[in-house]
Chain A
Amino acid sequence: MITWIVRRLIQACFVVLAMTVIVFVGVHVIGNPVDILISPEADQAERARIIASMGLDQPLWRQYGYFLWDALHGDLGRSFVFNEPALRLIAQRMPATLELAVTAVLFSIIFGVPLGLYAGLRPDGFSARAIMAGSILGFSLPGFWVGLMLIMVFAVQLGWLPSTGRGQTEMLFGVPWSFLTWDGLRHMFMPALNLSLFNISLVLRLSRAGVRETLPMDFVKFARAKGLAPSRVIFVHVLKNIMIPIVTVLGLELGSTIAFAVVTESVFAWPGMGKLIIDSINVLDRPVIVAYLMMIVLLFIAINLAVDILYMVLDPRVRLERKA
């Protein structure tokens, strides 16, 4: 098993390396940042000086070599626009995105599980059917449009919630957080709800299927026969069993939620890394683009690796399959 984990780790390293090549070469083929960043009035000597200071005069393979060497030392270049280390820029924006993504995942449990329980317990009722139809909408509606509609209804028409921004933040561990203030929470509600719609639908369907599967089981019948209160049977015995797949799926979905935050952040002008990458693509701020892509690729490879290893440890069937 140790050999398998080591082999899997080496594989992951190769994927990361391949990704650096793809991202680096790819990003360096599009537009020339020199034309964008140097004012047309600058004379030849000035241009040459700026190009040399950015290292853009070197051949591509050497630029890649420098890039890789620096990346290993935690330096992914300086943003052309902000003139700050790209990694620090992303690290500054990351808490905003993380807090949004984690809130969205929490929302999907808070809304998804009760709705799914209800739909599973009364599968033929009218409201259960309505909930299931609603979950199809959650899967197929483009998230950005739902976000716009939320703004239109709750911010513009009703004026209940603020439409954009992060609101008042509170420092904790030297990082500003929105969830510590009432104003910040009000700002976070709509973006988090928007981001969680897909996951709510997913959790809802999982818990409905789980309830339908668990109810006819012997241990539920036994718990009922023992004379336990119906609410205890449902909320303790059934719920515990259906939470296992839900937690697994949500763990896997955290990565996608962070990726899809790009859309939500753009709609709600939430100052996270997703908004940063969209702005950076629009002005061709290459170091930031590369740094963001590398960070997110690393994140995904880490999540996939962790899930693979966990399955291997937790599920003996997978282990046996690998041996065969």
Chain B
Amino acid sequence: MSATAGANEETPFRRFVSEFAESKLALAGLAVFVIIALLAIFASVITPQNPYDLAQLDIMDGRLPPGSKSMAGYTYILGTDDQGRDMFSGMLYGLRISLAVGVGSALFAAVVGTSLGLLAAWLGGRADSAIMRLVDLQLSFPSILVALMILAVLGKGVMNVMMALVIVEWAYYARTVRATAMVERQREYIEAAECLALPRWRIMFRHLLPNCLPPMIVIATQQVARAIALEATLSFLGLGVPITEPSLGLLIANGYQYMLSGKYWISFYPGIALLVTIMSINLVGDQLRDVLNPRLKR
């Protein structure tokens, strides 16, 4: 048994925690993700240099390999890029933007998708088929194409990338929530609430929504990982965040031209950071799916 074995009473939450902890791999993923998130949040405290402050950069330190000494005396543990920017500092700041864009857009898409999905399930009829047709239409196009279309229309920028990610992602939430809500609304507790003549919005948000949450949490973790990967891809293509606020994808793109001459570190380390972030979220997401899926319940 896990760490909660000594607890005297079993609450749903405790059961959830102990089931989640059964997978060591998922726990490791969670730990890595927490560390990454903390590194990103406290980037300005940890890093030796503020990569956006041009006064702190020295062009003479450009493209130094990992472990080189700077003019100012500290060590560039991961080398520097073409501007003489410390890669370690640049990476943590980039991580911050990647995480903010990924998590932010996934949450926003969750709100939009959940509302529309619930609405479709609740209203039924025309509204339902209209919303679901839109979902079908959108899911029939690959995410990169939808994002490309939106960014071709809106232009670059952090807000536009987030908007594109939200538009790409909302359909997954809407479809999942609708499917769950359709099942849940047949249950007795909804019938009971209707018999009590509670207002519709109250039944929807206080009774129906909380019971639709488990599959939503699973979708949300997967979507955060997907959003981070897609944002990195778009930024790599030069369609994402502006050069003044480089995310991991843009850092990788910056190093691309130097990679052919053997200066691998400018692209390599941001790539590893991206990789570890995505993998850790996916590990947590897989275990969440196994724990929260009622079909796999023992």
- Asked if residues A142 and B229 are in contact (CB atoms below 8 Å), the reply is yes
Find the B residue at minimum CB distance from A27: B153
Query: B59 to chain A: which residues have CB within 8 Å?
Result: none
Q: Point out the residues of chain A lying under 8 angstroms from B262, CB to CB.
A: 156
When chains A and B are docked, how far (Å) is the Cα of A156 from the Cα of B154? 37
Q: Compute the total of residue contacts between A and B using a CB distance below 8 Å.
A: 98
Whether B232 is near chain A, meaning CB under 8 Å from some CB there, is: yes
- State whether the Cβ of A304 lies closer than 8 Å to any Cβ in chain B: yes
Measured as residues with beta carbon below 8 angstroms from the partner, the interface class of chain A is 35 or more
Is A175 an interface residue, CB under 8 A from the partner? no
The answer to whether A281 and B256 touch across the interface, beta carbons within 8 angstroms, is no
A143 contacts which chain B residues (CB < 8 A)?
233
> Does B144 lie within 8 Å of A260, measured CB to CB?
yes
Minimum distance in angstroms from A246 CB to a CB of chain B: 19
Cβ–Cβ contact A31 & B155, under 8 A = yes
Whole-angstrom CA separation of A149 from B269 in the bound complex: 11
Assembly CA distance A26 to B233 (angstroms): 22
Are B229's CB and A140's CB within 8 A? yes
Q: Which residue of A lies closest to B281 (CB)?
A: A140
Q: Is the CB of A256 within 8 A of B237?
A: no
Contact with B along A154-169 (1 / 0, CB 8 A): 0110000001000000
A282 within 8 Å of B (CB atoms): yes
Q: Which residues of A contact B144 (CB under 8 A)?
A: 259-260, 262-263
User: Are A15's CB and B229's CB within 8 A?
Assistant: no
Q: Pick the residue among B154, B238, B271, B282 that contacts A145 (CB under 8 A).
A: B271
Q: Within 8 Å CB of B145, what residues of A?
A: 259, 296, 300
Asked if residues B237 and A263 are in contact (CB atoms below 8 Å), the reply is: yes
Given contacts A149-B271, A260-B142, A262-B148, contact A144 B155 (CB under 8 A): no
Q: Is the CB of B256 within 8 A of A156?
A: no
Question: Does more than half of chain B's interface fall in helix, strand or loop, or is it mixed?
Answer: helix
- For B153, the chain A residues whose CB sits under 8 A away are 23, 26-27, 29-30
A residues in contact with B282, CB < 8 Å: 136, 140
Q: A248-278 CB contact bits vs B (8 Å, 1 = yes)?
A: 0000000110011011001100000000011
Known A140-B282, A156-B260; contact A281-B239, beta-carbon cutoff 8 A = yes
A36 to B137, CA, bound (A): 35
- Contact string against B for A residues 209-225, beta-carbon threshold 8 Å, 1 for contact and 0 otherwise: 00000000000000000
Chain A CB within 8 A of B21 CB? no
Interface membership of A148, Cβ < 8 A: yes
- Once the chains bind, are B154 and A30 in contact (CB under 8 Å)? yes
Cα of A260 to Cα of B225 in the assembled complex, Å: 18
Q: How far is the CB of B91 from chain A (nearest CB, A)?
A: 14
List the B side residues contacting A152 at CB < 8 Å. Answer: 259, 264, 267-268
Question: Which single member of B151, B233, B267 contacts A142 (CB below 8 Å)?
Answer: B233
Say which size band chain B's interface belongs to.
35 or more
Contacts of B236 in A (CB 8 A): 144, 263, 266
- A141–B275 contact, CB under 8 A? yes
Docked CA distance A256–B236 (Å): 19
| Docked pose: A300 CA to B139 CA in angstroms | 11
Q: Which residues of B contact A293 (CB under 8 A)?
A: 149, 152
Question: CB distance B268 to A263 under 8 Å?
Answer: no
* Chain B nearest CB, measured from A167 CB (Å): 17
- B148-203: which residues lie under 8 A (CB-CB) from chain A? 148-149, 151-155
B284 within 8 A of A: no
- Taking CB atoms, residues of chain A closer than 8 Å to B149 are 23, 26, 293
Kindly identify, within residues 179 to 224 of chain A, every residue whose CB is under 8 Å from any CB belonging to chain B: none
Taking a contact as CB atoms under 8 Å apart, the answer to whether B256 and A148 are in contact is yes
Complex-state Cα separation, A211 to B225, whole angstroms: 30
- Indicate whether A140 sits within 8 Å of B279 (C-beta atoms), given known contacts A152-B268, A300-B140: yes
User: Which listed residue (B140, B151, B225, B279) contacts A304, Cβ 8 A?
Assistant: B140
Q: Does B36 contact A (CB under 8 A)?
A: no
A79 to B248, CA, bound (A): 33
B239 touches A278 (CB 8 A): yes
* Candidates A15, A149, A156; contact of B137 at CB < 8 Å: A15
- B216, CB-defined interface residue at 8 Å: no
Taken together as a complex, chains A and B put the C-alpha atoms of A77 and B72 apart, in Å, by 56
> Do A259 and B142 form a contact, CB below 8 Å, given A27-B153, A30-B155?
yes
B229-285 residues at the A interface, CB under 8 angstroms: 229, 232-233, 236-239, 249, 252, 256, 259-260, 262, 264, 267-268, 271, 274-275, 278-279, 282
Which residue, B145, B154, B249, B267, has most C-beta atoms of chain A within 10 A?
Answer: B145
With A and B bound together, what is the CA distance between A143 and B278 in angstroms?
13
Say yes or no: B152 contacts A255, CB within 8 Å: no
A283 to B: closest C-beta gap in Å:
11
B142 neighbours in A (Cβ, 8 Å): 255-256, 259-260
Q: List 6 A-B contacts (CB under 8 A).
A: A26-B153, A30-B154, A148-B271, A256-B142, A259-B141, A300-B140
Known: A27-B153, A277-B148, A300-B145. 20 other contacts (CB 8 A): A15-B137, A27-B152, A30-B153, A31-B155, A140-B229, A140-B279, A142-B278, A144-B236, A144-B252, A145-B252, A152-B259, A152-B268, A155-B260, A256-B142, A259-B145, A266-B236, A267-B256, A277-B152, A293-B149, A297-B141
